[in-house]
Structure 1
Amino acid sequence: MAQKNCTQVREFILVGLRDRQELKMPLFVTFLSIYLFTAVGNLGLIVVIRTDSRLNTPMYFFLSNLAFVDFCYSSVITPKMLGNFLYQQNVISFSACAAQLGCFLAFMTAECLLLASMAYDRYVAICSPLLYMVVMSPGVCVQLVAVPYSYSFLVALFHAVLTFRLCYCHSNTINHFYCDDMPLLRLTCSDTHSKQLWIFVCAGVMFISSLLTVFVSYTYIISAILRMRSAEGRRKAFSTCGSHVLAVTIFYGTLFFMYLQPSSNHSLDTDKMASVFYTVIIPMLNPLIYSLRNKEVKEALKTILKRKIAFMFMKFRK
């Protein structure tokens, strides 16, 4: 908790990824391209799902929410990181730093729980196909999305409040490209034992509960697939789950590496590289994973493009 004789920090300085000036512009162009691709990919996926009536199913409802979360938490981090490549000293105010940390934690937690909801959706679809639309009713789907959003907001709010009630007196320079817990805790002169314990317990409970949901769901899914007599049916079932399995593996693997290690094992340079993958690359990969491997999404995208081209052609002829 905050100490009495402590000068209040009004702003922080983000060190960023690299100090070498000659690398800043190439990195700026690279990450700007990735961010634009992320924005177009995720927002485009949402538009395709909302536009095509054939995609009006629970699976695509969850996928559109996942795309929304990916876009949001990439937007929380990347624009500020891009600014760090353009300015000599990238300053962020105390309140903006708190908001960035809170929003990032909220969207990260929401994604973790949404992946668990999507695993349950696949379990019902494959293990109880005749009851799928009954079990996964619109009300249930809304609840499976609303609970992750609500829980993630409350956890992130509490987490951010705890972090920014600490006393920051060692320095105001954050050795990172965004406001994250571990580099922030290195700046405080308060006792961080309870805070670090809270981080470990909270991340561990969320990680284990959501991963357990995914593991149990896929245990039943694999068992159901292996009992199928049709080779075509097994191939189709595996294909349906393949995209989600790949997304889960990448996301949870990075989450484990980032947050479920003791603080003594953390290297900030290693964390920076993992954070780039986690905050910038994964939001770009998810639209590719779910669209390139999904025949229905590709067909819906082709239909939309044909309509747009036909409309532009008719408008040009007039």
Structure 2
Amino acid sequence: MIATILMTLCAATWGAALTVAPQDEPAPVRASPAVKAPTTLEAWTLPGLTLPEGVTRAEGFHAISVQARTFIKDPTTHSVLPAPDAVVTQVWSTAREGEPRFQGGYAVLRYERGVPDDVREMLGGLLWGEDGQPTERHPENMLVSGEFLLLLSFDWGDPTGDWLRDALNEVSGLHIPHTWIALAPLLSEVFAAAQEQGEPAALAVIDANAEAFAGHSMANYLAGEFAIGQQNWPRAEQGYARAMSLHDEGADLLPGGPGMVWAALDGLGLSLIAQRKDDQGVPVLRRAVELANSMEQGGPAAQSGYNLACSLAMSERFEQSLEALRVCIEFDEAYVEMAQDDTDFTSARLRDDFRELLAR
């Protein structure tokens, strides 16, 4: 493996972790095949739900953002969008002694022929603007399941909102991520340690709070980033693998969209093949290449493809390695010089086909 590639990856993705780049579209909310989503409007209103102590709900709608309130008041947006066939709205309130009062809104809109793409696209733009995903200022969740569009609007970090998300996840198979507001102080400690003391100190903060961060995909992703920067391959593998497990299961989606998923896959694949776990690393890197290609990102695809070629060469799958390396070189001929000196290709360079490819 090439050290410069490794350090570039760490610097680029760690920087992205500090300030998540806006996405053109929000990360999709995945559905679990093990749970069948409700098929009626009434079922989506969760009629038999036992509410937490102090929580009430009633007809009506309350939203944090004016954009959400405007949409529910007029889902056609002045006749620009198709009208839903039915709408049900609820106001959720909590009033516990010694705690502030929170209010939130939950709405279900039914479109008989399925939720139109232009409704999804325009509503996403109205709710989140350039952020492309929920933020503290615009915390609404928009979810689509078949012919139903769900809109949740609760204050960022409101425990009632997280409770409702869990309830919806359980009955529908949707996977709506938490805001993790309670972990914000710990994450601040992680970032402060990274900036002031370096990656080992930041990783130490994560490890000291392992139980709190166990279900947090971003914290585990950061653990992988900090560990890979120190070439601590087993710890990097652990962090990335946990982050991807949480993401793939839908328990806690990585917040940065496809770009961060690619970085986690590439880091996981690299940490595996660095330990010569090639049988595990190869499929991970193939997935990273496919994802980068789907985003039309040639640079990331070539980076993952080069690591894939290294692993395939080390495991003596030379024809597959040659093809992966050829694709990288077609994108950037700088990979020729890398492969000429890379010890991972020592055996491969004895072959005529590799010598021909690298004779430039």
Question: Under a length normalisation based on structure 2, what TM-score does the superposition of the two structures give?
Answer: 0.21
TM-score by length of 1: 0.23
Higher relative contact order (CA 8 A, sep 6+): 1
